[in-house]
Amino acid sequence: MPSGKPVDWALYDDLLRSELPSLTIKEWQKMYAPHISNKTIGSRARKLVVKPAKYELTLEHKMKISHSLIGDESHVVSKILEIRQDYSNSQIMGMLGIDDATLSRIYKRNNIRLNEIGVARARKQMRECSIGKMPWNKNSKLSEDTKLKISMSLLGCKNGQFGKKLSKEHLLKRAVSFNNSGREKLRSYLASDTAKGLRAILIAKLRTPEYRERASVYATERSRNGLSHSRGKCSHVNSIKGGRIYVKSSYESKYVDILDSDPSVASFKYEPIKIKYSHDNLIKNYTPDFLVVFADGRVELVEIKPAKMIFLAKNQAKFEAAMSYAKDNSMEFRVVTEDGLFTS
């Protein structure tokens, strides 16, 4: 902190002459004389005709320089108002001999705004400047500390929307605005050639065998890890022997076709019973997929399951409970995989 006492410059003049040319005044002050103000050090350096490596101007100093450059501001303002419609800001700065910061301050102090022509010209210049250039934040990654700071700065009452709820009138305005403009924009975009082309590309990608195989493996892994509760390819099926049922996979739909075409099957029911089973020290319910009644009187419980999932611990516990239930009720239990569904 500056003390306000007279400075004995005999102790510092040699340091100023030798070190200041390679440092800024702030750096020199921090290293050798933190008790002396920047202004005092700069004044002494000018007396010794020593220049620092770089001047760091204060805002007050910049304002003084600006005022000295423009002289009579009223004349400059009148000139700007006269020519601003026909020239860009860079051209105005060149004509008046001032920098962009000074011009910006003049605009703010005198409430000068660009007209429609100036706004259009500025937007055009921004677009032209950005064409072919890499965005400043391209490939930049935030550090974990920065991410944490941003998250903490938006928590709770620090968030501008904390505790606020939209009023019914505001929600109604948003709904009306969307109905009047947003929906029409969406419809016009979907009808455009661009949207149709993107849709065609997406459909072609989804139909490729490689993509479907990759999606199937991904869905299976999520299901195994308990991350997905999807019901698969659900659909209504009209069966001759089982009536109208709602199956939950293409495998089940295929098995319904097999049962309908099998003359030894009299009838069947879809998910007719629930069986208690134990897994992970919990009692749960298991529902076999089909109860099949044959013409000779046999009854069979059938579970449809992909081959790669039948050895999971959870499924094994289900199958053991189903076999015990079938044995106690004079039935049979069978697991049908894709090998039994799609082999000729």
56-89 pLDDT per residue, tens: 666 666 656 555 555 566 777 777 777 776 677 7
Question: In whole numbers, what is the pLDDT of the chain averaged over residues?
Answer: 80
Higher per-residue pLDDT: 342 or 312: 312
CA atoms within 13 A on the CB side of 333: 18
pLDDT of residue 222: 66
pLDDT of residue 223: 59
Query: Worst-scoring range by mean pLDDT, 14-23, 38-47, 211-220, 243-252?
Result: 211-220
Are the C-beta atoms of residues 220 and 228 closer than 8 Å to each other?
no
Q: What is the reported pTM?
A: 0.37
pLDDT of residue 344: 47
Whether the pLDDT of residue 321 is over 50: the answer is yes
35 falls in which pLDDT band (50, 70, 90)? confident
Contacts of residue 231, defined as CB under 8 A and 6 or more positions apart, other chains included, come to: 248
Sort strands 275-279 and 265-270 into parallel, antiparallel or unpaired: unpaired
pLDDT of residue 276: 92
Q: How many CB atoms lie within 10 A of CB 61?
A: 12
Q: Rounded to whole angstroms, how far apart are CA atoms 316 and 301?
A: 15
1 falls in which pLDDT band (50, 70, 90)? very low
Phi-psi region of 247 (alpha: psi -120 to 50; beta: other; left: phi over 0): beta
Contacts of residue 230, defined as CB under 8 A and 6 or more positions apart, other chains included, come to: 219, 223
Whether the pLDDT of residue 343 is over 70: the answer is no
Contacts of residue 303, defined as CB under 8 A and 6 or more positions apart, other chains included, come to: 288, 289, 318, 319, 322, 333, 334, 335, 336
Query: Worst-scoring range by mean pLDDT, 36-45, 90-99, 316-325?
Result: 90-99
Are the C-beta atoms of residues 236 and 245 closer than 8 Å to each other?
yes
pLDDT in tens, 259-315: 999 999 999 999 989 999 998 888 999 999 999 999 999 999 999 988 888 888 889
pLDDT of residue 289: 92
Q: Rounded to whole angstroms, how far apart are CA atoms 245 and 236?
A: 6
Q: Of all residues in the chain, what percent carry a pLDDT higher than 90?
A: 16
What's CA 49's distance to the chain center, in Å?
56
111 falls in which pLDDT band (50, 70, 90)? confident
